[in-house]
Structure 1
């Protein structure tokens, strides 16, 4: 059994797993006395199935460094994005090591070690391979005393100056009827649909939008993408670029609202991964249902080559990677807080 650590606080219990330092089942006690568990856990975890590294710990949240994966010529990117898969890297993005080629980086595939477990926080650490400019990442999970909330952070140390896309990956369970889970983001400069010709996607690739309630679709016209789960099977990724403050989530099924907030100067976008039973191949098998609400400095899930370069989002003035200096470790984080809805 993979190792995990748990911490109780005044308003719940949080569990963190060694694999990917992923948040496991986390219980929040709301002000009306109810306890809720908002985070998703992939069905293959519950079933005890063996899957590829990077997917075996698909739980409530984990840090992704670098965020995404390296896309290549065989991936069906469209528009201006297609020519970026082999674009030259900025000097500070070199070298790309084997850990840059993993899905969501070494942090998502490796076992972490416990640094400390106190009454206030769980802290885990991970040393990166020697061929990576990243030296070490430390992750801290701190419950907010007296509230149904958590502060989640990482500190990143590097061997030399480097540029990499980064993201947190909070995944929320979708347990209610279609449309019962609402996404209400803070103001953002513009939204983009995934610029990939993905058969399982509903949104028209590489389309700009200004409201989640009005997103262009491949069949013509537009549809709402702010009410989940969808009635039909699909797999869509949208990016809210230049977001301010964070995202408000309303789960009518569980009668709870969640506020996800972070420093949007450091992580200026929110990636929305709408996994709605659209992937029919193993290990997904048409059974995977969740929404990722992901604070990122990234260009979609395109990894270090595109994220660190001059892609359309970066050229529009929204950073798609973080820069880290060896003398100055970088700290990134987010906060989640839950509140009962009236009548819950």
Structure 2
């Protein structure tokens, strides 16, 4: 049985897994006395099915360094993005190592170790392979006493100067009827749909938008992408670029609102992964339903080369990677807070 560590506080309980340092079952006690669990857990975890590294811990949230995976000419990118798959990583980015090729990086595939566990926080640590410019990453989960609230942070140390995409990966469960989960982001400069010719996606690829309530779709016209789950099966990804403050989420099924906030000067975008039973191949098998609300410095999920390149998002003045210097640890984090909604 994979190792886990749990912590109780005045307003809930949090469990952290050694695998990917992923948040597991996490309960928040709201001001009306109810306990709610916001996070998703992939169906293959419950079923005990064996899946590839990077997917076996698809639950709650985990840190992704580097975020995404390396795309190639075999992937159906479109427009200006397609010409970037064969780009060279800038000299300042540091050459790629084997761990850069993993889905969401070494942090998502490895078993982490306990650094400390106190009544206030759990800290896990992970050493990166010796051929990686990343030396070590530590992750701290700190509940806020007296509040239905968690602080989640990482500290990243580098052996060599490097430029890599990074993201947190909070995944929220969608338990209600279509449209019962609302996404209300803070102000952002522009939104962009995934620039991939993906059959399971409904949005027109590589299209800018100003509001999730009006996004162009492939069938013509536009639709709302701010109210989930969708009634039809689909798989869509949106990036909210240059976001400020964070995202407000309203779950009418569980009668709870969630505020997800972070330092957007460090992680200037929010990636929205709308996984709505659209992937029909294993291990997804048309049964996966959640929304990832992901604070990132990344260009979608396109990995280190495209993130460090002069890609269309970076050209618009929104950073798509972080820079880590030796001897200068970088700290990144987010906070999640729950609020009870009144009766219907």
Q: CA deviation at 1:327?
A: 1.8
State how far apart, in whole Å, the 1-side matches of 2:11 and 2:200 are.
39
| 2:265 equivalent in structure 1 | 265
Question: What residue in structure 2 maps to residue 224 of structure 1?
Answer: 224
Shift of 1:232: 0.1
Q: 2:294 maps to which residue?
A: 294
* Cα pair 2:89 2:95 within 8 Å, conserved: no
Q: Which residue in 2 is equivalent to 1:332?
A: 332
Deviation at 1:91, TM superposition (A): 1.0
> Counterpart of 2:313 in 1: which secondary structure?
helix
Distance 1:328 1:315 in 2: 27
Partner of 2:131: 131
Matched with 1:153 is 153
Which residue of the partner structure matches residue 114 of structure 1? 114
Deviations 1:257-307 (A, max 9, x none): 000000000000000000000000000000000000000000000000000
Query: Who is 2:320 aligned against?
Result: 320
1:207 paired with 2:207, answer yes
> Counterpart in 1 of 2:284?
284
Partner of 2:75: 75
- Structure-2 separation of matches of 1:314 and 1:173: 31
Aligned to 2:182: 182
Distance 1:92 1:9 in 2: 43
Deviations 1:121-165 (A, max 9, x none): 000000000110000000000001000010000000000111000
Q: Counterpart in 1 of 2:39?
A: 39
Q: How far apart, in 1, do the equivalents of 2:88 and 2:166 lie?
A: 20
> Number of residue pairs matched?
344
Whole-Å Cα distance in 1 between the matches of residues 92 and 118 of structure 2? 37
Structure 1 residue 90: Cα displacement = 1.1
In 2, the alpha carbon distance for the partners of 1:94 and 1:13 equals: 40
| Partners of 2:94 and 2:161 within 8 A in 1 | no
TM (norm. structure 1) is: 1.00
Counterpart-to-counterpart distance in 2, 1:122 and 1:292: 23
1:311 and 2:322 correspond: no
Distance 1:9 1:94 in 2: 42
SS in 2 for 1:92: helix
Structure 2 match to 1:173:
173
For 2:187 and 2:278, locate their aligned partners in 1 and report how far apart those are by CA, in whole Å: 29
Instruction: Give, in whole Å, the separation in 2 of the partners of 1:97 and 1:170.
Output: 26
Partner of 1:23: 23
Q: Distance in 1 between matches of 2:171 and 2:120?
A: 24
Structure 2: gaps of 5 or more residues: none
User: Which SS does the other structure have where 1:266 is aligned?
Assistant: coil
SS where residue 99 of structure 1 aligns? Answer: helix
Return 5+ residue gaps in structure 1 as ranges: none
Secondary structure of the residue aligned to 1:323 is strand
Question: TM-score scaled by structure 2?
Answer: 1.00
Which segment drifts farther, 88-97 or 332-341?
Answer: 88-97
Deviations 1:92-139 (A, max 9, x none): 222100000000000000000000010000000000001100000000
Partner of 2:252: 252
Compute the RMSD of aligned alpha carbons: 0.5
Partner of 1:53: 53
CA distance in 1, matches of 2:281, 2:144: 40
Runs of 4+ in 1 over 4 A off after TM superposition: none
Deviations 1:59-90 (A, max 9, x none): 00000000000000000000000000011211
CA distance in 2, matches of 1:321, 1:36: 34
